[in-house]
Amino acid sequence: GESVGLHLPTLSVQEGDNSIINCAYSNSASDYFIWYKQESGKGPQFIIDIRSNMDKRQGQRVTVLLNKTVKHLSLQIAATQPGDSAVYFCAEYSMEYGNKLVFGAGTILRVKS
């Protein structure tokens, strides 16, 4: 069925440390993945995406890793800052799902100063 899940609902990190947020997806046919950040009272904000023909993609302070063998996606945030505190969602896209993104449950990231 349609299922994108996150194992850790809350992650607390110290300012300046690196953060790793994990996501397990269930549909092996998914071929496009996106990480979104959602701050309180706002809509999901695009962070980074990756196609299934890649296993790593880097942005500014963020890296997404894709392991298709175990259907696992991760978001790495370098030098985490207080402004990174938010809920992070992974979302997957598959032609099987039609013209929509399917969101995971979300992980709360708390950055301690």
The residues that bridge with 57 in the sheet, in sequence order, are 64
- Show the binding pattern over residues 53-92: x = contacts another protein (CB under 8 A), - = does not: ------------------------------------x-x-
Reading the block at residue 85, the tokens are 């505190």
Query: How big is the CA angle at 89 (ends 83 and 91), to the nearest 5 degrees?
Result: 140
Interface segment toward another protein; rule CB under 8 A; list 13-21, 27-35, 66-74, 78-86: 27-35
Q: How far is the CB of 113 from another protein (least distance, A)?
A: 25
- Using DSSP, how many helices (H) and how many strands (E) does the chain show? 0, 11
- Check binding of 51 to another protein (CB under 8 A): yes
